[in-house]
Amino acid sequence: MTKPAARAPAPPAVAERDIRASDADRDRIAEILREALAEGRLDPEEHAERIDAVYRAKTMGELEPVVRDLPAAGGSRPQPDQGGYAHGPAAPAPDQNLVAIFSAAVRKGRWQAPARINAVAFFGSVEIDLTEAVFPQQQIQINVTALFGSVEIRVPENITLRSSGSGILGSFEVETHEAGDADAPQVHVNGYAVLGSVEAKPKRGAWIRDLRDRLREGHRELRRQVWEDHQQLRQEQREWHERHRAERRERRDRFRKGFDG
């Protein structure tokens, strides 16, 4: 009998502080610094210095010291990014119900999408727009019931969209789509339309990463504004000191003139 081949030793685990920082990690730290600036814990110059350090950081270990002395850093230290789509917090959002009876119900903009959404349209219309939503979990299930009404669903272009619904004397149209990334959010649309309509499809040009890009651009704009305010404050301080020195010289000259006279 031959002996089993010895297993190769497992590679050593990477320490948390040595893990490469993601854009989401930097954005979380920048948000802590923004709150500290608003509360007066940091002055504009300190805030600008720390923001520069945040966006130069390469690893988690370089990010941690930036907020070590701030209250928000103690209980919510940055964690490694769990994937390109993990924008939201770990706690799941509660189920959401959208009901339109002889009326309209709309949910859109930047919001935290729950794992389950129930939409009912009875002689009314429901609009669900997920193109700017935060996805705390990968699986999203939307249960729709359209009775003499309509339900319209829009999702980002780079997520998976599936359906298992049906139309009864109505239309149930879902433009199914499989994302190229296995970690992308998955939206499942189930239900039925009776003398009504259900439509779900990706919104062309809307990508889930666009939200992150806009948030990052917002942080850059905040940094620029804080820097400009700081520069203006320094200029005003210099002008005040110059006026103060000029007044002192003028008083000294008057004193000397009166003394000489």
Q: How is 181-197 classified by DSSP, letter by letter?
A: STTS-EEEEEEEEESSE
Question: For every one of its 261 residues, what pLDDT tens digit does the chain have, with 9 covering 90 and above?
Answer: 455 555 555 555 566 778 888 877 887 888 888 778 777 788 777 877 888 888 888 888 888 888 888 876 444 444 434 444 544 444 566 889 999 999 999 998 888 888 999 999 999 999 999 988 888 888 899 999 999 999 999 998 888 899 988 888 989 999 888 887 777 888 999 999 999 999 998 887 655 654 445 555 555 666 677 777 767 777 887 788 788 788 888 877 777 776 665
pLDDT the model gives residue 7: 58
* 6: phi then psi, degrees, rounded to nearest 5: -70, 135
Q: Cα separations (Å) of 13 from 9, 16, 18, 79, 204?
A: 12, 9, 10, 16, 41
Q: Give the Cβ contact number of residue 183 at 10 Å.
A: 12
Q: Cα separations (Å) of 158 from 18, 67, 196?
A: 30, 34, 28
Q: Cα separations (Å) of 88 from 107, 135, 141, 215?
A: 17, 6, 17, 13
Distance CA 121, CA 103 (A): 8
pLDDT the model gives residue 46: 82
